[in-house]
């Protein structure tokens, strides 16, 4: 019976060039045996099958659930996803995309009626201390089961108990029309890329994309290639990269990870090999060097954004999976392409479209846009693609702009997004999750499961007329017992407690995990309503609601001047700035706290003082390359006061360099103490450019000078060039002038007397 159903499903999938899902629900061992029998009946070669499972015993290639990124960019005729033991939503998102047209996705699940109540290894990851697995709910799986029971193209077989015959609950057959073959794309008459690049295209969309990417040979050109998953955008980028290399161009390729760029390099290598451009296959998967002067090379985003070795063109694949601030750095390239997934596992393109496109359009680039709609590996109306999008909300998006235009803070209502309410209201769920997707450069299917099932998470929103206009995802942290705090201090990692873990294990504060905290994981405002105070209003309401139950509020984020200002104005203060940059974002992460009671105030007090003391030395060491305005913002938001205690001799040097003929180099430590006090001082005002100023009479330019030269210890030549001084001597004079108000503010009686010797009445 299972064999017959599998044959019918496979035959229909092949006829329509679509895919089908076969769910084998029941005992795990029976499911594994049934999967082997079904695949054999369908006549599929074992070499064309992958099994995703935590257990051994499959005769096919086996991939661990947390290693399914290996399947991204690959195609398989059948993929078996074992949902017993550890069902990871991300694994489903990855495996669906690996199934080729005419192929099958086989799911091995517990009995569907029982599955939402089954707890497994993934649920354990959601049970962050002090919660337990018993606190985790099964809402995500309940919703998934509902889609399995109702969506076209999904067959369900109930395996039953030992000794009973399986039962076909749904056959999954849709009786689609037979598909006709595609018309082969042709090479445009004015094309400059070799004919082989266009011969390798499978759709007219892909051929158009390759044609648009020809413009990368011309400096000042930018190309945006948008597509849903499986449309061949990475292949088009790879063909373009290979063609440019054949023409002698140095092409730098970047992506969130090297595996994301595998298709780009595979297609580039195939073209180079076909055109005789490769003498031999290299050992480095990050480099292709044809026989001429060109090459195709890979660098991770944070490195590639610095444009190492001055490439002729840059291709940033899966651009939507990178933060906007990092993407902006690629606008210094001679020519650049941004292939990006609009909906899909790799990252949604909404943040790219909403926040980055304006910056790209305002740049000096001549921008071309290409949209790929026709799938490469399966037919356009494939039901499995729409099932995956529905089940995992891969196509979730915020409310349409017209429905919320004109909304102000006076129009909105604050509400809790309870998981049961989200399940009951599909529009509420899609708009809320869609805003979270738009707020972050990488939102995954696991995040949907966390939103619905994780006991430590809560969500809050602002709504108007039933539409979601702002949303925040929050995590409860801390409140850990003495034994767990001691274990954390001694090196044990505790899931889901980011701030307590950081303060305890890295910053060596064993009491940091005792107070309860509420951390903002994500906060998003509808793109049509930014700048109207909705984010601040949402935070205000959150603070009001939770203040009586937590000791502090917290947030961690990739530090930018704008974000530091936003969180400081919301009452948050700096406790930490990471010593290394995030590999994907290229930014240093800031952690900020807002106390809610005495315990929270004591916690912030300890770590603000420690941060102040660390930065005196870190800014000339680990933080030497941090953006000057990030340093200013982080210091301005540090509540610990900085004292100035210079010796009489040090004051003489400072006064001499500021008002007289002295030199900075004779007492750099004294200047550092003064600069730190000025930037951290508690009478700060807004600078003229909107960045944090100070209460010592310094403008933004002078404050940057203090950061770059005094605190970060850069050379005079480098500082003068970066800050636009005509000469190093002019830069030196400007530094002396910048310290004049600091002498006036902090100077001792002897210092002021010494100053009077150089200042006329």
Distance between CA 717 and CA 738 in Å, rounded? 18
pLDDT at 326: 87
pLDDT at 161: 82
Distance of CA 78 to the CA centre of its chain: 30
Q: Are 444 and 566 in contact (CB under 8 A)?
A: no
Same-domain status, 117 and 13? yes
Structure tokens at 95: 């495996």
Burial of 636 (0-12, 13-18, 19+ CB in 10 A): buried
In a domain? residue 382: no
User: For the domain that residue 662 is a member of, what is the CATH number?
Assistant: 1.20.120
Same-domain status, 515 and 581? yes
In a domain? residue 332: yes
In a domain? residue 518: yes
Distance between CA 496 and CA 472 in Å, rounded? 17
pLDDT at 279: 63
User: For the domain that residue 247 is a member of, what is the CATH number?
Assistant: 3.40.50.300
Domain residue limits at 538: 401-597
Same-domain status, 164 and 199? no
Domain-terminating residue out of 102, 137, 170: 170
Distance between CA 360 and CA 588 in Å, rounded? 24
User: For the domain that residue 576 is a member of, what is the CATH number?
Assistant: 3.40.630.30
Peptide bond into 130 cis (omega under 30): yes
Structure tokens at 702: 């002078």
Phi, psi torsion values for 15, nearest 5 degrees: -65, -35
Q: Are 537 and 412 in contact (CB under 8 A)?
A: yes
Q: Which helix (H) or strand (E) holds 744?
A: helix 728-746
In a domain? residue 377: no
Same-domain status, 257 and 317? yes
In a domain? residue 334: yes
Same-domain status, 568 and 659? no
User: For the domain that residue 146 is a member of, what is the CATH number?
Assistant: 3.40.50.11040
Same-domain status, 221 and 352? yes
Distance between CA 80 and CA 235 in Å, rounded? 26
Same-domain status, 309 and 409? no
Based on C-alpha coordinates, what's the Rg of the chain? 29
Max CA separation in the chain (angstroms): 106
Same-domain status, 166 and 204? no
The conformational region for residue 624 under phi > 0 = left, psi -120 to 50 = alpha, else beta, is alpha
Nearest of 350, 352, 251 to residue 308 by alpha carbon: 251
Same-domain status, 323 and 409? no
Phi, psi torsion values for 106, nearest 5 degrees: -105, 120
Pure H helices in 494-570: 498-501, 534-546, 561-569
Distance between CA 123 and CA 449 in Å, rounded? 10
In a domain? residue 411: yes
Given a cut of 70, the residues of the chain with pLDDT beneath it are: 73, 180-182, 279-283, 343-355, 440-442, 583-585, 682-696, 761
Q: Are 700 and 575 in contact (CB under 8 A)?
A: no
pLDDT at 18: 95
Q: Are 659 and 755 in contact (CB under 8 A)?
A: yes
Distance between CA 474 and CA 496 in Å, rounded? 11
Q: Are 324 and 356 in contact (CB under 8 A)?
A: yes
| DSSP single-letter state for residue 659 | H
Distance between CA 144 and CA 134 in Å, rounded? 20
Structure tokens at 639: 């509540």
Domain-terminating residue out of 321, 354, 372: 372
Same-domain status, 357 and 441? no
pLDDT at 69: 78
Burial of 454 (0-12, 13-18, 19+ CB in 10 A): buried
Same-domain status, 22 and 150? yes
pLDDT at 222: 97
First-last CA distance in the chain: 104
pLDDT at 275: 87
State the total domains in the chain.
4
Distance between CA 711 and CA 694 in Å, rounded? 16
Q: How many CB atoms lie within 10 A of CB 268?
A: 31
In a domain? residue 149: yes
Same-domain status, 290 and 429? no
Counting every residue written for the chain, the total comes to: 761
Structure tokens at 400: 């349409």
Distance between CA 16 and CA 18 in Å, rounded? 5
In a domain? residue 386: no
């Amino acid at each position: 019976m299972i064999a017959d159903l599998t044959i019918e499903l496979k035959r229909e999938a092949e006829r329509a060039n679509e895919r089908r899902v076969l769910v084998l629900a029941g005992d795990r061992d029976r499911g594994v045996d049934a999967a082997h029998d079904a695949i054999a009946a369908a006549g599929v070669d074992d070499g064309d099958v992958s099994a995703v499972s935590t257990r051994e015993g499959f005769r096919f290639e086996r991939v661990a659930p947390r290693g399914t990124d290996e399947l991204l960019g690959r195609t398989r005729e059948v993929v078996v996803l074992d949902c017993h033991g550890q069902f990871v939503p991300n694994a489903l998102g990855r495996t669906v995309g690996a199934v080729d047209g005419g192929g099958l996705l086989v799911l091995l699940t517990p009995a569907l009626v029982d599955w939402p109540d089954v707890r497994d290894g993934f649920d354990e990851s959601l049970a962050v201390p002090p919660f337990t697995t018993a606190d985790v709910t099964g809402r995500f799986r309940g919703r998934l089961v509902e889609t399995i029971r109702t969506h076209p193209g999904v067959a369900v077989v109930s395996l039953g108990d030992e000794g009973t015959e399986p039962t076909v609950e749904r056959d999954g057959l849709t009786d689609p029309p037979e598909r006709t073959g595609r018309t082969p794309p042709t090479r445009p008459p004015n094309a400059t890329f070799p004919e082989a690049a266009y011969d390798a295209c499978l759709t007219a969309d892909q051929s158009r994309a390759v044609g648009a990417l020809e413009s990368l040979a011309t400096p000042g050109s930018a190309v945006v290639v948008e597509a849903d998953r499986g449309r061949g955008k990475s292949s088009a980028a790879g063909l373009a990269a290979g063609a440019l290399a054949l023409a002698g161009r140095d092409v730098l390729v970047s992506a969130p990870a090297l595996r994301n760029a595998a298709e780009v390099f595979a297609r580039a290598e195939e073209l180079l090999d076909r055109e005789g451009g490769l003498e031999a296959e290299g050992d480095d998967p990050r480099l292709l060097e044809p026989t001429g002067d060109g090459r195709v090379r890979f660098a991770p985003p944070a490195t590639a954004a610095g444009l190492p070795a001055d490439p002729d063109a840059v291709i940033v694949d899966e651009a939507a999976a990178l933060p906007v601030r990092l993407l902006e750095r690629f606008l210094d390239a001679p020519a650049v392409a941004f292939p990006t997934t609009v909906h899909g596992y790799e990252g949604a393109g909404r943040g790219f479209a909403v926040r980055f496109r304006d910056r790209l359009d305002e740049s000096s680039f001549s921008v071309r846009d290409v949209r790929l709609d026709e799938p490469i590996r399966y037919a356009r109306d494939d039901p499995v693609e729409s099932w995956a999008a529905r089940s995992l909300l891969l196509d979730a998006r915020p409310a349409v702009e017209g429905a919320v235009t004109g909304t102000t803070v006076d129009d909105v209502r604050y509400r809790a997004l309870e998981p049961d309410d989200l399940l009951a209201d599909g529009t509420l769920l899609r708009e809320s999750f869609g805003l979270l997707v738009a707020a972050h450069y990488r939102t995954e299917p696991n995040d949907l499961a966390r939103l619905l099932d994780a006991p430590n998470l809560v969500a809050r929103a602002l709504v108007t007329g039933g539409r979601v206009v702002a949303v925040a995802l929050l995590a409860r942290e801390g409140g850990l017992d003495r034994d767990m705090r001691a274990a954390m201090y001694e090196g044990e990692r505790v899931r889901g407690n980011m701030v307590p873990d950081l303060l305890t294990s890295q910053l060596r504060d064993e009491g940091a995990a005792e107070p309860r905290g509420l951390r903002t994981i994500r906060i998003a405002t509808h793109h049509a309503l930014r700048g109207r105070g909705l984010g601040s209003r949402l935070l205000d309401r959150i603070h009001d609601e939770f203040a009586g139950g937590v000791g502090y509020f917290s947030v961690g984020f990739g530090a930018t001047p704008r974000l530091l200002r936003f969180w400081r104005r919301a009452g948050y203060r700096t406790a930490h700035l990471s010593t290394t940059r995030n590999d994907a974002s290229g930014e240093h992460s800031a952690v900020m706290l807002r106390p809610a009671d005495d315990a929270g105030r004591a916690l912030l007090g300890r770590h603000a003082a420690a941060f102040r003391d660390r930065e005196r030395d870190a800014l000339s060491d680990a933080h030497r390359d941090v953006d000057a305005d990030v340093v200013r913002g982080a210091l301005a938001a540090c509540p610990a006061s900085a004292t100035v205690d210079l010796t009489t001799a040090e004051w003489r040097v400072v006064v001499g360099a500021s008002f007289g003929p002295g030199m900075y180099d004779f007492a750099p430590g004294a200047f550092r103490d003064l600069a730190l006090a000025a930037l951290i001082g508690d009478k700060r005002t807004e600078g003229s450019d909107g960045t944090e100023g100070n209460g010592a009479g310094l403008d933004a330019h002078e404050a940057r000078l203090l950061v770059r030269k005094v605190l970060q210890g850069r050379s005079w030549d480098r500082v003068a060039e970066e800050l636009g001084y005509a000469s190093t001597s002019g830069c030196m004079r400007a530094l002396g002038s910048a310290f004049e108000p600091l002498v006036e503010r902090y100077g001792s009686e002897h210092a002021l007397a010494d100053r009077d010797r150089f200042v006329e009445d």
